[in-house]
Chain A
Amino acid sequence: MRKKELKLVVTFYTTADAMAMEKACKEQKAPGRLIPVPRAISAGCGLAWCAGLDARDALRQLMDRMDIEEQDIHECML
C-alpha cells in the first residue's frame, strides 16, 4: 500500500475554477493533479488540486496570474 504523506490541497468554489487550474498547470508545467476533495475537508465543488508542500508559492502566483479563485489551501495526509 502506498505510504501517505503530507500534501498541499487547494479547494475551489466552482468546478470551473478547478478545471481552469488543471489547464493552467498543464500549460505552465506547474506540479500537481486534480483529485476529488478529500472527505476530511468540508468544502468546495468536489474537485481539488493536489501538489507537494513545496509548490505552495508557485501555485499561489500561478492562480493570481491566471485569475483563479481558490477557496482555501489545506495540508492533508494523502
Chain B
Amino acid sequence: MTPQSAEATKTSKSVAKQTVLKMEHVTKRFGGLVAVSDFNLDLKEGELIGLIGPNGAGKTTIFNLITHVIRITEGKMEFYGKDITNLTTDRIIRLGIARTFQNIRLFSNMTVRENILTAFHAHLKSDLFTAVAFLPKYKNEEEYFQQKTLELMKEVGIEHLADNISSSLPYGLQRKLEIARALATNPKLLLLDEPAAGMNPDETLELNQLILRIRDKYKLTVIVIEHDMKVIMNICERIVVLDHGVTIAQGTPIEIQQNPLVIKAYLGAGDEDA
C-alpha cells in the first residue's frame, strides 16, 4: 500500500509540490462505533482525488472531521503545514478550506446573490461601526464583493437567476450555487460532497467540466465524494476507497477498478452470494 510512490512518479515534473492536507492516523469513534479508523492522507497541491465507498463507509464523516463539524477522536491534521486538529470550524474555513454538503444547505430565504455575498463575510475587514456608517472602506469592500459575486455566478452559469430566492432553483442549479458559494470563501482546498447527486447525465458531464475548470482557474486542490462513477473515474487522478471506516484501497482509477477488495466491498464476496 504505497500509493505515494506511484503518485510521486506521476507528478515528477514538479517535484517540490507542496502538501496541502496531511491527515495522520485520523480516527473517529461514536461511542462503540468506529466511523473512521486510522485514516491517512497526503494531498498535494492541485490534486483532484475521489473518496468513494458504500453507504455508511465514513466519507462524509471525513469531511466533517476536516472542517471540525465533529471533533476528531485520535490523530492529527495539517493544512499547509499548520496544525488544524483543534481549530474551530470558522477558523479552518478562513484558512482556506471550503465545502459543499450532501443534502444541499443553502440559505433558503435569501436570493442567489445574497447566498454568495454571505460567503464573503468571513473575509470582511471592516468592523461593525464602519459597516453601519457605510464608510468608504466598507463601501469599497462591498463593491468588490458584489463584483466577485457576479463573476462567480457567471462561472457556474446562474447569473440570470441572481435575484431569485435560492430555494426556487432546480436541484442541479442549487448544487452549482453551493459550489459558487464555497468558491466565494476563497479556498485553497475544496471539499465536494456528492456534487452530482440528483443530476441527469448531461448535467453530470457539465459538472465534470466545471470541477476541472474551477480547479485550474482558482488553483484548487479538490476532494470529491461521489457515488456516480462517471464523475470519479473521469476526473479524479487518485481514488481512496473506504469501507466501514477503513481505507481498503488507494490508487489511480484503473487500479481501483481492478482491485478485488474494492469489488468485494461494492458487490459483496462471491462465495456469500452463491
A, B assembled together: no
